[in-house]
Amino acid sequence: MRGLKDKVVIITGSGQGIGRATALRFAQEGAKIVIAEFNKSTGQSVADEISSSGKEALFIQVDVAERATVCNMVSAVMDKFGRIDILVNNAGVIHDKTLKKMTDDEFDRVIDVNLRGTYICTQEVATVMREQESGVILNATSMVALYGNFGQTNYVASKSGVIGMTKVWARELGKDGIRVNAVAPGFIQTDMLKDIPENVMNMMVKKVPLKRIGKPEEVAGVYCFLASDDASYINGAVLSVDGGVVV
């Protein structure tokens, strides 16, 4: 990808799944990677994996829903690298229940991490990017934000909110040389799918025109494209990576 070499990239929730694949892909493209992860074990593991390949990586433990830890992260990155070129707001959680059974705590936790966490990270990083007069912010939404999903009141609300914030920020930050876009993955082979029964997985696959589950690396490639110079005139877009489910 053009223009990614030596770029400083923060990827939240990058200790596993799509976040890990995205970190590895950006590293392959020559970027300097910040693994911003709540789980110390998985976060450090990914950073070590990148470092062992000869690329530069830094692990920082962060809870995206807690502003103090996000501010500490931004300060640490600036101390280490002196700039922030790309932010991938990938961190997210699920607590699925029907409306009838969902608790306030389950609703609040998903909103706090997926929606508030994206807001806090973007607000803090955008301050740095404004001073640089450049930057790329990429937000993880979901195909369910586009059509809803049974038993996911909190998750759909959070991811729909991310789409709205993406469009607002694209308008607000464009004048500062900052592009903001979102990626909406579909059924991707991550830990979120590991407990789904086989018959349900088969039903899910049938809904996909390409007739298969996606790979984390396929989402990672889209993040790299949107962060690169090849996407220099893409701003405020929501790009679906779902095999055609929401055609």
Catalytic residue IDs: 155
Spatial CA neighbour of 165 closest among 233, 231, 118: 118
Spatial CA neighbour of 57 closest among 75, 38, 82, 77: 77
Which DSSP symbol is given to 242?
S
Q: How far apart are CA 219 and CA 84, in angstroms?
A: 22
Q: What is the dihedral of CA 229, 28, 22, 1, to 10 degrees?
A: 20
Q: What is the dihedral of CA 138, 13, 128, 109, to 10 degrees?
A: 90
Q: How far apart are CA 126 and CA 47, in angstroms?
A: 24
